[in-house]
Chain A
C-alpha cells in the first residue's frame, strides 16, 4: 500500500503519476480509494450521474499490469478521471442530446483513455433533461457548485476523481472551479476537439480540464490537445508540452489588468472578491510580475454579444428538440429557446462584428502584456435556497468576467486566490494570447505554489 501524507483520493495527478511510475502505488489501489470516497460522500454531493465502478476497476487492473510490465504510458496512466455528461462516452452519450446518437467516445475522452486514464463515470451538468439532485459544494453543502460543469466542480473538490473534463460556453468550467476552490482551464477555442461534445453553442463551446492543481491541468491538456479532423474548428496550431515551462518564474511577466472594466462590473461584484483578486495581483507583483492597467473599450459589450451568439446557436442546435424542451425541459433551457427566438439576424451579425472588434482590441493589448488578470466571479457560491432556476441567465446578459473570453476564444485559467469571510473559495482569472496556455499555466502555477491555498481541503 502506498504511504502518503494525504488520502490517496486527494493526491494530485502529478503526485499519483510519480508513485504509479515508480510502482509505489497501484492504479487499482488508487481507483479503489476513489470509489470508497465516492461511496462515503457522493450521497451528499450528488456529483455522479453514472458511476462505472466495474469498468473503472477493470481499466485500473489493465493499467497496473501494463505498468508492471514496464509499459508506462505517461502521466495520465492509471489516473481516475470523470467526465461532464455533455461529453459522449462509449455506452453513455450526452443526455442533452436526447433524441440523437452520441459518437461513442468524444475525442477528448478517447485521448485520455489512450493515455491510460481510468474512466470513473459521468458527472452532473446543469439543465439535464431528467430531474436529478443538484450537486452540492464540498466546502459547504448548503451552497451550490456553480455550473454548468456542476458535477465536475463537486467531484474534483471532494476527492471523487483526480481530474475532470468540463466544458465552458459562458463560464461553465470557470464558475464551478471558482466556487469549488479548484483549478480549471478553458483552453483556446480549437485547442481541444469538440467532437463528441453535445453542442450548446458551436462557436463558443470549449472543452477543458478541471483539477485541484494547475500542474494537473497541464498534464491533462498534454493528453487532450491537438488537431482532430472530426472537428472542423479544431486547430492545427502546434501543441506545446504544457508542463515544460511551468516552473519558470514570473519575473518580468507583464500582467494587464482591465481596471476600467473591473470598476464597471464592481456594483455587481462583492467587495471580498475584488479584495482577494487585488491581493492576488499584488502577490504576482511581489514575485516579479509587472502590473499594468489596460483598456479594452469593447469589453463592456462582449458579454451581451456572447449571449446573443450563444442563444442563437443554442436555438439552431436544439431546434429539433424544442417542442420537448418547452414541455419538459429545465427552466434554463426553456428560457434559452425563447431568448434565441427573440434574437434576429441583425443582432447576431452585430454580435459577430463586436466579436471582431473585441478580438482586435485584445490583440493590440496583448502586444504589450503577456496575460490579463481579473476576477472570476461576482461573489462566492450562493446558498442553494437562494438560487432561482434562471439566475445564471442574468449573469449572461450583463457585463461580467466570463463571456468576453468565450467570445474571443482566449485561453483562460481559473485558480483559487483565497476565501470569503464565510470560508467559501474565491478565484482569480488569468487570460492569455491564443494558444499561449503555457503562459497562463506558468503564472497560475507560480501563484498557486506561492500561496498554497490547495493545502486547505473541504471538511466532508
Chain B
C-alpha cells in the first residue's frame, strides 16, 4: 500500500480509537488502491451548478 495512504488510514482509525486487524492493510491494499483511483474519477467531472441529490424538506410527517 502507498505509504501516504497507509498513514492516512492509520490516522483515521486512530481518531476513531480503532486498530486494523493484523494483515488487513496488506490483504486489502489492492482494493483500497483501486477504490481511491476510482475516487479521483468522481472528482474529474465538472458538475457545474448541480446540487446534492437528497433534498432537505423541513416538513415532517406524523409518526403513528
Q: Give A residues with C-beta under 8 Å from B.
A: 203, 229-230, 232, 298, 301, 304-305, 307-308, 319, 322-323, 326-327, 331, 334-335, 337-339, 341-343, 346-347, 349-357, 359, 390, 393-394, 397-398
A301-B51 contact, Cβ under 8 Å, with A229-B64, A341-B13? no
25 examples of A-B residue contacts, CB within 8 angstroms: A229-B63, A229-B64, A232-B61, A304-B39, A304-B41, A326-B20, A326-B24, A334-B28, A335-B24, A338-B9, A338-B20, A339-B35, A342-B9, A342-B32, A342-B35, A347-B39, A347-B43, A352-B53, A353-B52, A354-B45, A354-B47, A355-B53, A357-B50, A390-B27, A397-B38
Across the interface, do A230 and B63 meet the contact criterion of CB distance under 8 Å? yes
Report A409 CB to chain B, min CB distance, Å: 9
A356-B16 contact, Cβ under 8 Å, with A335-B28, A393-B31, A398-B38? no
Q: Which residues of A contact B63 (CB under 8 A)?
A: 229-230
Across the interface, do B18 and A326 meet the contact criterion of CB distance under 8 Å? yes
Q: A298-B45, A350-B47, A394-B34 are known; give 8 further A-B pairs, CB within 8 A.
A: A304-B42, A305-B42, A337-B18, A338-B20, A342-B5, A349-B52, A351-B42, A397-B31
Across the interface, do A397 and B35 meet the contact criterion of CB distance under 8 Å? yes
Nearest-neighbor residue (CB-CB) of B49 within chain A: A353
Q: Which residue among B5, B45, B63 has the maximum number of chain A CB atoms within 10 Å of its CB?
A: B45
Q: Which residues of A contact B34 (CB under 8 A)?
A: 394, 397-398
Across the interface, do B62 and A229 meet the contact criterion of CB distance under 8 Å? yes
Interface of chain B, helix or strand or loop or mixed? loop
Across the interface, do B28 and A350 meet the contact criterion of CB distance under 8 Å? no
A326-B43 contact, Cβ under 8 Å, with A307-B35, A342-B32, A398-B34? no
Indicate which residue in B12, B42, B45 contacts A347 across the interface (CB closer than 8 Å): B42
Across the interface, do A322 and B42 meet the contact criterion of CB distance under 8 Å? no
Report B31 CB to chain A, min CB distance, Å: 5
Q: Which residues of B contact A331 (CB under 8 A)?
A: 27
A308-B42 contact, Cβ under 8 Å, with A229-B61, A356-B50? yes
- Binary A-proximity of B8-22 (CB < 8 A = 1, otherwise 0): 110011001111110
Report A207 CB to chain B, min CB distance, Å: 19
Classify chain B's interface size: 35 or more
Q: Which residues of A contact B54 (CB under 8 A)?
A: 203, 352
Nearest-neighbor residue (CB-CB) of B44 within chain A: A301
A322-B31 contact, Cβ under 8 Å, with A350-B43, A397-B38? no
A203 to B54, CA, bound (A): 9
Nearest-neighbor residue (CB-CB) of B15 within chain A: A341
Report B20 CB to chain A, min CB distance, Å: 7
Nearest-neighbor residue (CB-CB) of B62 within chain A: A229
Report A29 CB to chain B, min CB distance, Å: 38
Nearest-neighbor residue (CB-CB) of A341 within chain B: B12
Indicate which residue in A301, A339, A341, A390 contacts B42 across the interface (CB closer than 8 Å): A301
Q: Which residues of B contact A390 (CB under 8 A)?
A: 27-28, 31
Q: Which residues of B contact A393 (CB under 8 A)?
A: 31, 35
Across the interface, do A357 and B47 meet the contact criterion of CB distance under 8 Å? yes
Report B35 CB to chain A, min CB distance, Å: 5
Report A372 CB to chain B, min CB distance, Å: 19
Report A290 CB to chain B, min CB distance, Å: 30
Across the interface, do A323 and B53 meet the contact criterion of CB distance under 8 Å? no
Q: Which residues of A contact B28 (CB under 8 A)?
A: 334-335, 338, 390
Nearest-neighbor residue (CB-CB) of B30 within chain A: A394
Across the interface, do A327 and B21 meet the contact criterion of CB distance under 8 Å? yes
Report B36 CB to chain A, min CB distance, Å: 7
Nearest-neighbor residue (CB-CB) of B47 within chain A: A353
Q: Which residues of B contact A334 (CB under 8 A)?
A: 21, 24, 28
Closest 9 CB pairs of A and B: A355-B53, A356-B53, A352-B52, A304-B38, A341-B12, A229-B64, A353-B50, A397-B35, A353-B47
